Structure 1
Amino acid sequence: MAVNTKDRLQSLKEILAEVTGLSRAAALLEWDQETYMPPGGVQSRAEQMATLSRLAHVKFTSDEVGRLLDQLEDEVAKLPFDSDEASLVRVTRRDYDEATKLPPDLISEIAHAGSMAQPVWQKARREANFSLFVPYLEKNVELNRRIADAIGYDERPYDALINRSEPGMTTAQLEGIFAELKRAIVPLAADIARHADAVDDRVLYRGFDPDLQLAYALGLVKRLGYDLERGRQDISTHPFSTAFGPGDVRITTRVSRDFFNECLFGSIHESGHAMYNQGMGQNIDRTPLWGGASPGVHESQSRFWENLVGRSLPFWRHFFPSLVATFPEPLRGVDEEAFYRAVNRSYPSLIRVEADEVTYNMHVLLRFELENEMLEGTLKAKDLPEAWNSRFKSYLGLNVPNDREGALQDIHWSYVSFGIFPGYTIGNLIGAQLMEKIRTDMPDLDAQIETGQFASLLGWLRKNVHRHGRKFTPNELLERATGKTLSAAPWIAYVQKKFGALYGLQEARKAAP
């Protein structure tokens, strides 16, 4: 590599490191707001985060960054596609082109609006009063329209937003994926409903000491591979994971005495995100390459550990004895098979983060449709609860009792985050596709899990997913890891096999006249 090229790369990296520092400082303030900040700090925090976001945006979109990219693109063109240098220039160019379309004032306004809306959302959720949140949602819908207009799109405004988070994905493609999933989910869910008595989950509601739950969950995710020397767990209204660098990757959870799944599986879920961040290479730190390939890829890691591993029978054959030792009274008379069946009970749920594997994607479909309609102006923010409740009844057969368990349950719309929800379904599909490949590469995977050995599994993910960060688009990453592009088929086959066995559906079909 020529000396001038090395010098220009170093100059670019120095600027990008400063941008990363500003962004991580803003993320730390956001974590504090979610966990420990007093209510009186809202206005000051909004101003602080808006300032940091504006400074990072101005520095990243400077003419100097554009000039360096112009010079470097030809100079790194002959390097391998996956080299750090070529990847840095390619991904930075993609981010730069998008960011330069968003004026600094809009970036600052987005940060300020999100910081102001979040505590109002918390209050509205506590009081189950959507009307408190309406003005803030109206503002955030307007900001999302302005983002879409600034970025540009060929057909529908949602295309601009989904392509920001899932490069290469379009609204039409998402509609096709959801249609395929709906064709599989609706009959499966109906079959399960007809045999609902086959699975009993009452054990999960027997009352589990919250402090013991938190301690057990933290110990378990440490066993999976979450490094507590580089992480910590706290309590928040809505569980999340955040990272300030490879040495500081944090998770939060929430805990309920009356429902066991919330804390443990929430912790496993967030640790999946965290292990992804902890596995990214030091060589790409403090650059745009450090981070998840997309929200969908990030979600594939969290739901991989939560569902494909954490809700498997081999997993509970290993962990159930220690669980009984921790909670002897609630688990009296329960064996590992019964507990495995309990944590996999399938039934329509009001809350997305508590939904089972079969019906979860219908929650995402609902949000995807409502976001589109608000963005395109066919649904007003004030009418969201009515639309939500009506569609929820149609899709999942449930009456929504209040706004807290309805349109106010997710934090995303308080942070101007349209276009994020489809990533949860994309994550489900990617996770199943990765697991299909892993089982080919590691035929003794179940035996490893049953004996509490997770290092090889985590190592496979480190090698094929984590270390690359944002070097590749989701489809590029998936093709490199599995040899195939995104497909719903592995996920559909997985849920049909697993829940068919849990509910005896094949036997029931054979016995039917």
Structure 2
Amino acid sequence: MEKKFEELKKRLHEIYYLQSVMSVLTWDQNTYLPPAGANARGSHFAVLGKIAHEKQTDPKLGKLIEELIPWTKNLPYDSDEAALVRLAKREYEKAVRLPTPFVAELNEHLAKTYQVWVEARAENQFAKVEPYLEKTLELSRAYAEFFPGYEHIADPLIAESDYGMKASAIRKIFRELREELVPLVEQVTSQPEADLSFLHQHYPKERQLEFSRYIAGRLGLDQKRARIDLSPHPFMIRFSHGDIRITTRVDEQNLADCLFSVIHETGHALYELGIDPSYEGTPLYDGISSGVHESQSRLWENIVGRSRDFWEYFYPQLQAVFPAQLSQVSLDEFYRGINHVKRSLIRTEADELTYNLHVIIRFELELALLEGELRIKDLPEAWRSRYQSDLGVTPPDEKRGVLQDVHWYAGLIGGAFQGYTLGNILSAQFFEAALKAHPDIPNQIKQGNFTTLHDWLKENIYRYGSKYTAEEIVQRATGSSLTIQPYMNYLRKKYKELYRIT
């Protein structure tokens, strides 16, 4: 059995590194690929995706997994060997349901759609990408149909990024969260607006990038194993244990955009960099779900990076980098400014209170598209209508409306957004557990020291990769299932103090 297990790992290594090569091509597509290279890149993805899928669905791999299952039943549930065989079985059973020609077609289509979206967004022309999105919706429905017996057509798509979650459960969580958030948003936004003009002066691009890289390093990003580049939409992608890529974007009239994008993506990178290196080359070397992954980016970006404790240490340094812009701005003004609550159009620029309303809108639009209740051609108007009813703002154009997010233009429709809000909820739940174990963490943050928090996260979340399910990780780390209460407690305390309301 040990020899068969080694053979399993050998086969999984081949799949892992093929997928890593595709990740390199994805990063290149988002950063340096010239527009004329988009069609060829689609062919690259189609060929590599086909080869990877053939290896993922090889009957010999399936036979090997089945032969190993009885062996793992005699091993502890917590053993790495048992976990790898469990996960390999789940991945194999999913892969064999997807025909190889479908996978090749999907990869090629998404590569082309991404490039058209980049152009459509720049030109503010949804019509340009509309036929491609029609095809994406068709492929998304086809994907779900390969997994019959679902409760909702979105469930197989949700399971792709948040295994164990269903549309019904997410709807329930989102309904509870919305009921709690809406009154709090109303209460806070009724207060006088802060003066944010200091955030929108001229902040030179290179100095923004230099300070953002400095902050990433202080948070624990090993810059021998990671680099930061520019792309239209910030993201993090892993090539290997020693090679993580982050991208950001820079607006010279908006100090917060680049800085908090880098902190956000650094949170993702810290997770990937903290996985047990012995898992590399197997499905265990990955974040367990989009919700848990997003919990780390949001924990570092918001709970840490937008805290007053954090800026007690770093604000004097930021003032030294931008003296003309910030020397006359107090710490209190800066702290209030970076946490200002406002009904806005752009998800990635939204404050903590309204952010989840952006996500809920997208999630519900996805479900409507998949259910056939909403047509692609009506999506821009549906987007405008929901923003008006839920956030009280109306996008003046498609660039700040339906074209603002990359997700539907680089992936399937369905399962793309719920992880952001699940991550917000979990970020507070994990941080609360870390504070119970180490009450001195806030004082350490005031001194620019993140070692204890980072170590707790590595010990309780990062190192396990995909060894456990998301539900198991949450239970092990916090002692309970996912709950919105720590998150709502955090938001109420922070924003009622910030806005001096009862």
Task: Give me the TM-score of the superposition, normalised by structure 1.
Answer: 0.97
Q: How far did 1:283 drift?
A: 1.1
**C-alpha distance in structure 1 between counterparts of 2:336 and 2:438, whole Å:** 25
1:416 matches 2:411: yes
Is residue 250 of structure 1 aligned with residue 241 of structure 2? Answer: no
Q: Hey, what does 2:147 align to over in structure 1?
A: 151
Question: Which 10-residue stretch deviates more, 159-168 or 224-233?
Answer: 159-168
The answer on 1:335 being equivalent to 2:335 is no
Cα shift at 1:201: 2.4
Report the Cα distance in structure 1 between the residues aligned to 2:420 and 2:148, rounded to whole angstroms: 24
Asked whether the equivalents of residues 174 and 360 of structure 2 are also in contact (C-alpha less than 8 Å), the reply is yes
What does 1:278-297 align with in structure 2 at a 5 Å threshold?
A: 278-297=273-292
In 2, distance between residues paired with 1:167 and 1:155?
14
C-alpha distance in 2 between matches for 1:205 and 1:359: 21
- Following superposition, the deviation at residue 153 of structure 1 comes to 3.5
User: Aligned partners of 2:307, 2:75: CA distance in 1, in Å?
Assistant: 43
The residue that corresponds to 1:225 in the other structure is 220
1:347–1:356 contact (8 Å) kept in structure 2: yes
Report SS of the residue matched to 2:286.
Answer: coil
- Name 1:208's counterpart in structure 2: 203
* Residue 460 of structure 1, aligned match among 449, 456, 459: 456
1:68 aligns with 2:64: yes
Does residue 299 of structure 1 match 2:294? yes
Amino acid in structure 2 at the alignment position of 1:312: S
Residue identity opposite 1:487 in structure 2: T
* Paired residue secondary structure (2:326): coil
Structure 1 residues 196 and 475: CA distance shift in structure 2, 3 A:
farther
Residue 370 (structure 1) aligns with = 365
Contact 1:143 1:416 in 2 (8 A): no
Amino acid aligned to 1:16: L
Residue 479 of structure 1 aligns with which residue? 475
Q: Decide whether the 8 Å contact of 1:368 with 1:422 is kept in 2.
A: yes
Q: Deviations over 1:245-295 (max 9, x none)?
A: 110001000001111110000000001101111111111100011111001
The one-character-per-residue Cα deviations of 1:32-89 (angstroms, maximum 9, x if unpaired) are 0111111111111110111111111110110111001101011011212121100000
Instruction: Give the Å deviation of 1:189.
Output: 0.6
CA drift at 1:196: 3.2
Contact 1:200 1:341 in 2 (8 A): no
Which residue number corresponds to residue 185 of structure 1?
181
SS in 2 for 1:232: strand
TM-superposed deviation, 1:221: 0.4
Return the offset for 1:16. 0.5
Distance 1:338 1:154 in 2: 51
Alpha-carbon distance in 1 for matches of 2:78, 2:163: 17
Give 2:310's match in structure 1, choosing from 315, 322, 336. Answer: 315
C-alpha distance in 2 between matches for 1:153 and 1:481: 32
Give, in whole Å, the separation in 2 of the partners of 1:413 and 1:170: 19
CA distance in 2, matches of 1:360, 1:474: 23
What RMSD, in angstroms, separates the aligned Cα atoms of the two structures? 0.9
Q: Which residue identity is paired with 2:53?
A: H
Report the secondary structure of 2:449's partner residue: coil
Give the Cα separation in 2 of the matches to 1:378 and 1:196: 40
Do residues 194 (structure 1) and 190 (structure 2) align?
yes
CA offset at residue 332 of structure 1? 2.3
CA distance in 2, matches of 1:443, 1:156: 43
CA drift at 1:200: 3.2
Q: Per-residue displacement from partner, 1:160-200 (whole Å, max 9, x unpaired)?
A: 11122211111111111111111111100100111133x33
- C-alpha distance after superposition, 1:289-340 (max 9, x if no partner): 1111001111011011000000001100000111011000000211212211
Matches within 5 A, 1:363-512: 363-417=358-412, 418-506=414-502
Question: CA–CA distance in 1 between the matches of 2:482 and 2:497?
Answer: 26
Match of 2:90 in 1: 94
Aligned partners of 2:19, 2:151: CA distance in 1, in Å?
32
Equivalent residue number for residue 358 of structure 1 = 353
Gaps of 5+ in 2: none
Contact between 2:408 and 2:416, CA under 8 Å: does it hold in 1? no
8 Å contact from structure 1 (residues 265, 306) kept in 2? yes
Aligned residues: 501
Cα distance, 1:367 vs structure 2: 0.6
Aligned counterparts of 1:78 and 1:330: Cα–Cα separation in 2: 65
Please say if residues 203 and 322 of structure 2, whose CA atoms lie closer than 8 Å, have aligned partners that are also in contact. yes
SS of the aligned residue for 2:246 comes to strand
User: 319, 327, 340: which one pairs with 1:324?
Assistant: 319
Match of 2:113 among 94, 117, 124: 117
CA distance in 2, matches of 1:56, 1:16: 10
Is 1:129 the equivalent of 2:125? yes
Specify the code of the residue in structure 1 equivalent to 2:16: T
Inter-partner Cα distance in structure 2 for 1:228 and 1:153: 46
Corresponding residue SS for 2:353? coil
1:35 and 1:235 in contact (8 A); partners too: yes
Q: Does 1:46 align with 2:42?
A: yes
| Cα distance in 2, alignment partners of residues 279 and 329 from structure 1 | 39
- Partners of 1:137 and 1:287 lie apart in 2 by 33
**Counterpart of 1:509?**
none
- Return the alpha-carbon distance in structure 2 between the equivalents of residues 88 and 321 of structure 1: 48
Q: Cα–Cα, structure 1 residues 154 and 45, in superposed 2: closer, same or farther, change >3 Å?
A: closer
